[in-house]
Structure 1
């Protein structure tokens, strides 16, 4: 071809092998381009149709021989199976847990029995604690109610003692009032006891009282305030046949720590 470069293979002086010289042109004298050598041309590539035809004719491998898993049925209806991993590999879920670590086994029958026993002990302790609190509260309420009843009874008796005085038994009557008193009331009555005795004897006083009503104003196991309504018949020199009298007395009482008796700490007429 005219004007198109061709490749020419010639041997060099130092290397007898052939070399390709670019730029050689047709029509150049033989001295200039030396000697032309024909290179063997590689075999043309096999057509793709022949390759496909040969592959179709090759025998198909048996999956049972190669160890591959086969899926029978419609592939769309079968879930993808996870690729099996060695037992010690990371992420294996064999005897070990995640990342190859052994998983904690659930409690056995003995462990569940111990847990149940512990739970029963806790529940029993809570029940006993609740019963203890309830029992203590019940005891306090009962003791307080009993103390109030005793305070009202002591106030009734103290009011009767205070208005029941006779010239014939004045010393015993005054002593009885003093024995049921404490604190300021006892001190005041003791200081005026001589004068009271003289008036009772001189006027030949004879008084006998009866409680009409008594009510608790306030009270607990140590302190109480009680109102008592008392009627009394009083005889003296000026009223030998006697005359009725009506008293309303407020009594403040405290419980003695040693004897447990209720004693009058304050007495006043309120109407």
Structure 2
């Protein structure tokens, strides 16, 4: 059989040319809505991170504020405690000054009382010192001081109220030269002047019996 006589029923064999271009793979199309979900997740993470940073910052600010408040409050408490202690020390030192005198040496007594005084008390004591001198001199009064008890009733950084109980022994013409025990109770107002606590008021200017 010749080629021309080949049956038309035979299959036609074709050759593949490898040089022909092969179609590229089709691009992967993301699932509908997937890109939106990814963006939403990123936004959510950023919002969450932002809120966390803001919360941490707020906590830090609150902590700093609390620490500052406590520091200021502690300083105020210490200042009041220091002021109270200083006022009590001044009151306890001044109380025996008020109750210790000798008719033969009143200049020293008056100078000591005025040195620790201020305001109304200083003015009042200075104004009555002449009359007090006459009384003590005529009566030949000598007062010595025994036990002194004093306390602060109230105080802040600049003012204080104190009370003192002073045990005295008084010798005078009235006691016929015999020492007579006595007790003097004094209420004092104190005021801080620069770095000193001074007495601005005393319950009674007449301290001699």
TM-score normalized with structure 2 length: 0.70
CA contact (8 A) 1:253 1:266 kept: yes
- 1:147 pairs with 2:83: yes
Counterpart Cα distance in 2 of 1:135 and 1:94: 55
Deviation at 1:167, TM superposition (A): 2.6
Counterpart Cα distance in 1 of 2:61 and 2:129: 61
Q: How does 1:99-138 map to 2 (within 5 A)?
A: 103=40, 105-106=42-43, 112=49, 119-138=55-74
Match among 128, 132, 157 for residue 192 of structure 1 = 128
Q: Which runs of 5+ in 2 are unaligned?
A: 1-28, 205-209
Counterpart residue number, 1:268: 203
Q: SS at the partner of 1:264?
A: strand
Deviation at 1:144, TM superposition (A): 0.8
Match among 84, 87, 95 for residue 159 of structure 1 = 95
Q: Rg: which structure is higher?
A: 1
Counterpart Cα distance in 1 of 2:141 and 2:60: 69
Q: SS at the partner of 1:184?
A: helix
Q: How does 1:206-225 map to 2 (within 5 A)?
A: 206-225=142-161
Counterpart Cα distance in 2 of 1:255 and 1:211: 26
- 1:242 pairs with 2:179: yes
Counterpart residue number, 2:35: 95
Counterpart residue number, 1:74: none
Q: SS at the partner of 2:36?
A: coil
Counterpart Cα distance in 2 of 1:210 and 1:224: 25
Counterpart Cα distance in 2 of 1:224 and 1:210: 25
Q: Return the structure number with greater relative CO, CA threshold 8 A, min gap 6.
A: 2
CA deviations 1:51-99 (Å, max 9, x no partner) are xxxxxxxxxxxxxxxxxxxxxxxxxxxxxxxxxxx879xxx403236xx
Deviation at 1:152, TM superposition (A): 1.9
Q: SS at the partner of 1:148?
A: helix
Q: SS at the partner of 1:96?
A: helix
Match among 146, 160, 168 for residue 232 of structure 1 = 168
TM-score normalized with structure 1 length: 0.56
Q: Which runs of 5+ in 1 are unaligned?
A: 1-85
Which is helix-richer, 1 or 2? 2
Q: SS at the partner of 2:174?
A: coil
Counterpart residue number, 1:46: none
TM-aligned CA distance change 1:211 to 1:136, over 3 Å = farther
CA RMSD of aligned residues (A): 2.9
TM-aligned CA distance change 1:244 to 1:104, over 3 Å = same
